[in-house]
Amino acid sequence: MRTRRTQQRKPSQQKPVSLDSPITAVKGVNSKLAPKLRSLGLATVRDLLYFFPRRHIDYSSSVSISELAPETEQTVLAQVWGASSKKSSCGMWVTEALVGDDTGMMQVIWFNQPYLERKLVPNSRIAMIGRTKIWKGNKVFQPTSFGVLDQGNSLEGALIPVYPLTEGVYPRQLRGVVRQALD
């Protein structure tokens, strides 16, 4: 009969993180991500804290669908009625969603993002920032940023930082690393 040996674990002795600690001391930065961040000039925790966003996405002032002005960046909160993706004649994926609020409905278009069809579930609420444009003779909304509100995140009233990026570093990933460094 075998008996299981239990090993007593020694309490982990984590070194305190200082401003001059390497960026790998921040939770979420592994050996694959660290070189990509170094290409952005981020080698220490201090570099990360002084890496300021180039702008912020403002979800605080939303406009109803009926009040959207053409060619102006605006925020819209809407309910998804349906979404579909198809390949265009030139080989580009076009994801279309029909959304609405109390004042009307509109078509929203994303290019080369077919996975969004699965994320845009009917009756879910989304917050979008983008511009109203004319596409194929119809007025459509093209978001530059959006988030699904029903998934535990509340973007209403939020300011989201937009950082300069490099290949292999994603906006949400970098925001999380900066958040960890700040915490």
**Per-residue pLDDT in tens (0 to 9) along the chain, 183 residues:** 555 555 555 555 556 778 888 888 888 888 888 888 888 888 888 988 898 888 887 777 788 888 888 888 888 889 999 999 999 889 899 999 999 999 989 999 999 889 989 989 999 888 888 899 877 777 789 998 887 776 555 565 677 788 888 888 888 788 888 888 888
Position 60 scores a pLDDT of 74
Tokens for 174? 């970098």
Position 157 scores a pLDDT of 60
Q: Where are the domains of the chain?
A: 23-54+163-182, 58-160
The verdict on pTM exceeding 0.75 is no
Neighbours of 158 (CB within 10 A): 14
156 and 113 in contact (C-beta within 8 Å)? no
CA distance 181 to 183: 5
Which amino acid belongs to residue 126? I
CATH number of 58-160: 2.40.50.140
CA distance 103 to 134: 20
Position 4 scores a pLDDT of 54
Question: Could you give the maximum distance between any two Cα atoms of the chain, in Å?
Answer: 78
Dihedral Cα 58, 157, 119, 78, nearest 10 deg: -100
